[in-house]
Structure 1
């Protein structure tokens, strides 16, 4: 038996690395390098001027005092034969010791217009009438729009394509104009304010799951009414509490609501939990047009019809205002916006002005900009996500005045950037700058929505849709399948012949099935009436009635079908037969039928003009 030959690598052993020795060697190399560097500096300083800086001694280096550049020298040992890239060295040579590029001009300022994501534009069609409400959810997955056409449309960025069509189309308030909309902090609920005094709450699918109660308009004290009694102008969700929202109405009140008061039995929020009354200079009721929360949810502000701005501290009794500007505008306030630090308020009014106010001074505005056309009560204003800019839109009811989207410097209200809408009669009514997407949604009076974004600064949103191809609607397409049999080929088998015969037979060939109908809710839905009603009783009644009518219609002679039960009726009298036992014991039936004689009309019952005159 031959001996086993050892393999070539059987005598080799694994190499063992001593980390302590490697670390000690690295330290020695660093200290030696630092000493050489210190020696070079000392030699240079000896030949320099007397005012030069003193060099670092080798003893100080040995004691642990190192220069700022020593951190860069602490590197692992390079492998033998390693060569550095000269291009990298050349790039590093252009960089100063403080890490700044030598080619950078410190005096050059970055243009603030680069912060506006308006390099690209997407056009979305809402309808043919003015867009009066526009809001995107905090996560930026979708947004909703409402207009004077009473419709609310959902736009889901994940489902949209290049056609930019709405995902859902709703009529939440029937024939009432949509005034405002707001998403909750988690995006699960959309609150819709309309010309009705009821606020509708919709879920993600667009289905109404709750509403606020209608108030009693005959009660004088507004504290006793459970809800609004007039049209709701504006509403906002609490930026911190996802269950709380505030609304303002023409009845002169702001009301705080919470979703926790929802009752499953009534399908509505039965009562508000707080009422705030807005009063004018003479102490009488004044209608609030807009309302807003501060970003930290510590303040609640309202802009009223008389041009005043009233602010209350959140959680107080809401009896006295904490901040009041009685004559902020000479016309109704159309929009209010808090700065990100909640120390400033931006207001827009129908007096064609834009003003900025400080929470510490209510006497005079910090900044004011005039000659800004405003013809719609829904014209917006606001701050950019980091308050580098201030934006607003211009609108006019005149058909020959085009609208603009304007951006101002918040320090001096100088015009920085503007977007014109050259189409005549196109006004900018709604503006919403989403901080997470960094995209600007603009609603116009011609029924269109413009979404502005930048490919470098914006995130997701409409950028997912502009490159997605349009899907074809193949629901109504029919594919016809034919088989051609060639008797000269060997592939013809009995199975193929049978399949060919089945396809030629119209009776055995399966018909094309249409798509299934939508499920029905209730007795009728989607224009279709339920076949059997909505209850078990109606279903049984219909089935019994159909069976009896079928038997009855089979008999052509109605008289014969009735006399067919005469024998059973004579043996077992139940109803009418008992009344005729004495006066008519033997039944007499008419054998033949004759036409009834024409009766003469009673002249006493005839009108006077129809009675003939006597000679």
Structure 2
């Protein structure tokens, strides 16, 4: 061994000088495989253990194995057109075919062509062979949106949260969102949608105020809420009831439309959060219906129509290019069953056709140029959620929607792919053991995303047909985990732990960390494991007691209860004396203030006292007249023309208090015994 190493060094020294130095020559020599004559048979193990290069080695991912791990157990494709050749993957990947300009609308429109007479393009594979499951929500997923580039996904749920997923930032071992936020406290999310530029997203929570968030999940703005006490809904600046749906303008990145349970459809400008641009009020023809809830709204791709569905079964088409709305352009009175929520509306790419997903378990296709009756109807598609949507495929040949199943049903929820022309089933794909609520097919990456009632977000893709998206994270090598992140190589030494874990111990010597009672308590706190229903909101204000320091520093007037009002006014006495604002005119003609002798309260008290005395005098008026006739000499001493002696002191005081001077002074001067009134006669006779 030593002789071999000595010969290697001598051979290196005997070589001519290299411009890269002896170190580079040594590296090249080590990289060169030894010849059979120079190799010792006993050194094979040593050469196998020596590295062939320096530095950190890049761990390569086994892409084919990772793709195979995400392959679906069975495609579950059923239907009249699901032939075996549809399941064969093409040899070379190809993007979705662009739309060809038709020579004649009646011949080239995919909606007007029958499913049995389609050409060979119908055998193209749906991207459903593989799936990636994203689990982070704890309640039904009610909103899904993928940005125009197909890089970031937003999911909303009944657990009040929005989850932001970045396909390029995830790998098979870290399928977690990079941001989670609660747009409105204790309010489910009904809808979320990226803008046409992808720089912001529209959030429709279960409140009366829409929100905008940026790509990182930070709130940009929140739009105003209307005055609920105004009866005319056109006079309010915003919605007065819970929002149900919303969507962006197809070409204008500054406008979007929202629908609400108050029966209005409102168009907003992102630069004005205090008032809508225009408002349309739905007026139901049902007697005594009042405000009718709008359950779905959508702008057509050509911006000609704004479709709105109400719970009274009507579907209204508003003029999408008008500057104000007084009434809808077209109305379908009985589009779906009354008192059911039409959860989805979708327009074809040219805006000539419209499909609706009704709460009566039907899907209908309409011609926007003739809305008297639907072109085709498909029934038996169960739905239990108000957010179940319907979409067109990128080539407008198919319609996609989800179906609902009862809780713990053995039948799985399916993704239904229907022919857009006659609504025949092209494929029925089982997704999970719960209802399929949201469906999304992104044309740029050619992947289908579904949201289920159990909180799962599933990305269906094909390794050959799809581009980026889920393939980015599935094709990555697993991240090298630190030893502390590996639970099999670390032990819990928390004092509250039941025991110490020995990872490499025998099974009979390994103790449980938690008792069965502790595990049951932890499972009870998990809403999925415990199957706990949604807890209703508790009465009263939410949250705890506010921080007193925060209140004192940020709320104006929070310390006024400890302030003396007299001292607060005297602070401005000197300033008011030097520069009087309201009484400057008195500075010359009345430099010294002349105050009133009595205050307003004292004057009012004096007037009340006089009124009380007058009431008492009027109540004793008849007694005065009797005294006048029985004791004529005892006339009030101040009455002119009487010369009777003064009455005794006590009687004089009584007469001074009880004498009605007003009635006496109004009468003429007559003899003392003359009757002065009819009332006096009656009293005297008695």
Under a length normalisation based on structure 1, what TM-score does the superposition of the two structures give?
Answer: 0.57
Quote the offset at 1:473 in angstroms: 5.8
Counterpart selection for 2:462 from 449, 454, 464: 454
Secondary structure in 2 aligned to 1:216? coil
Task: Output the aligned Cα RMSD.
Answer: 2.6
Task: Label 1:442 to 1:422 Cα distance change in 2 as closer, same or farther (>3 A).
Answer: closer
Counterpart selection for 1:294 from 289, 300, 308: 300
Task: Label 1:429 to 1:133 Cα distance change in 2 as closer, same or farther (>3 A).
Answer: same
Quote the offset at 1:469 in angstroms: 3.0
Counterpart selection for 2:476 from 451, 454, 468: 468
Counterpart selection for 1:326 from 318, 325, 333: 333
- Work out the CA distance in 2 between the residues paired with 1:232 and 1:533: 32
Quote the offset at 1:422 in angstroms: 5.5
Counterpart selection for 1:338 from 347, 350, 374: 347
Quote the offset at 1:291 in angstroms: 0.4
Quote the offset at 1:476 in angstroms: 6.8
- Work out the CA distance in 1 between the residues paired with 2:405 and 2:281: 31
Worse-superposed segment, 462-471 or 251-260: 462-471
2:280 matched to which residue of 1? Answer: 276
Secondary structure in 1 aligned to 2:271? helix
**8 Å contact kept, 1:113–1:416:** no
Task: Label 1:418 to 1:275 Cα distance change in 2 as closer, same or farther (>3 A).
Answer: same
2:189 matched to which residue of 1? Answer: 178
- Work out the CA distance in 1 between the residues paired with 2:419 and 2:124: 13
Secondary structure in 2 aligned to 1:158? helix
Counterpart selection for 2:150 from 140, 163, 176: 140
Secondary structure in 1 aligned to 2:168? coil
Secondary structure in 1 aligned to 2:132? strand
- Work out the CA distance in 2 between the residues paired with 1:436 and 1:194: 28
Alignment of 1:230 with 2:238, yes or no, is no
- Work out the CA distance in 1 between the residues paired with 2:294 and 2:216: 31
Quote the offset at 1:111 in angstroms: 6.0
Counterpart selection for 1:112 from 122, 139, 156: 122
Counterpart selection for 2:380 from 352, 371, 376: 371
1:483 matched to which residue of 2? Answer: none
1:198 matched to which residue of 2? Answer: 209
2:492 matched to which residue of 1? Answer: none
Higher gyration radius (CA): 2
Quote the offset at 1:462 in angstroms: 1.2
- Work out the CA distance in 2 between the residues paired with 1:297 and 1:315: 7
Alignment of 1:438 with 2:446, yes or no, is yes
1:18 matched to which residue of 2? Answer: none
**8 Å contact kept, 1:340–1:385:** no
Quote the offset at 1:190 in angstroms: 1.2
Quote the offset at 1:191 in angstroms: 1.4
**8 Å contact kept, 2:299–2:320:** no
**8 Å contact kept, 1:376–1:397:** no
5+ residue gaps, structure 1:
1-106, 262-268, 478-528, 538-615
**8 Å contact kept, 2:280–2:327:** no
- Work out the CA distance in 2 between the residues paired with 1:429 and 1:137: 20
- Work out the CA distance in 1 between the residues paired with 2:180 and 2:300: 32
Task: Label 1:121 to 1:299 Cα distance change in 2 as closer, same or farther (>3 A).
Answer: same
1:76 matched to which residue of 2? Answer: none
**8 Å contact kept, 1:293–1:301:** yes
**8 Å contact kept, 1:134–1:181:** yes
5+ residue gaps, structure 2:
1-116, 486-545, 555-686
Counterpart selection for 1:427 from 425, 428, 435: 435
Task: Label 1:222 to 1:397 Cα distance change in 2 as closer, same or farther (>3 A).
Answer: farther
- Work out the CA distance in 2 between the residues paired with 1:200 and 1:282: 33
Counterpart selection for 1:150 from 154, 160, 178: 160
- Work out the CA distance in 2 between the residues paired with 1:108 and 1:290: 32
Alignment of 1:218 with 2:229, yes or no, is yes
Quote the offset at 1:353 in angstroms: 0.4
- Work out the CA distance in 2 between the residues paired with 1:475 and 1:322: 66
From the two aligned structures, give the one with the greater helix fraction. Answer: 2
**8 Å contact kept, 1:126–1:145:** no
Quote the offset at 1:115 in angstroms: 4.2
Alignment of 1:349 with 2:346, yes or no, is no
Secondary structure in 1 aligned to 2:346? strand
- Work out the CA distance in 2 between the residues paired with 1:475 and 1:301: 56
Quote the offset at 1:128 in angstroms: 2.2
Matches within 5 A, 1:52-67: none
Counterpart selection for 2:141 from 126, 131, 138: 131
Quote the offset at 1:459 in angstroms: 1.5
- Work out the CA distance in 1 between the residues paired with 2:309 and 2:296: 5
Quote the offset at 1:286 in angstroms: 1.7
2:179 matched to which residue of 1? Answer: 168
Q: Deviations over 1:468-502 (max 9, x none)?
A: 2343565978xxxxxxxxxxxxxxxxxxxxxxxxx
Secondary structure in 1 aligned to 2:421? coil
2:98 matched to which residue of 1? Answer: none
Quote the offset at 1:456 in angstroms: 2.3
- Work out the CA distance in 1 between the residues paired with 2:432 and 2:186: 32
Task: Label 1:429 to 1:536 Cα distance change in 2 as closer, same or farther (>3 A).
Answer: closer
**8 Å contact kept, 2:367–2:374:** yes
**8 Å contact kept, 2:183–2:205:** no
Quote the offset at 1:315 in angstroms: 2.6
- Work out the CA distance in 2 between the residues paired with 1:115 and 1:358: 28
Higher relative contact order (CA 8 A, sep 6+): 2
**8 Å contact kept, 2:303–2:321:** no
Q: Deviations over 1:107-127 (max 9, x none)?
A: 995262524211221111132
**8 Å contact kept, 2:392–2:400:** yes
Task: Label 1:536 to 1:366 Cα distance change in 2 as closer, same or farther (>3 A).
Answer: closer
Task: Label 1:397 to 1:223 Cα distance change in 2 as closer, same or farther (>3 A).
Answer: farther
- Work out the CA distance in 2 between the residues paired with 1:413 and 1:314: 28
1:310 matched to which residue of 2? Answer: 316
Quote the offset at 1:298 in angstroms: 1.7
Quote the offset at 1:399 in angstroms: 3.4
Worse-superposed segment, 143-152 or 275-284: 275-284
1:359 matched to which residue of 2? Answer: 368
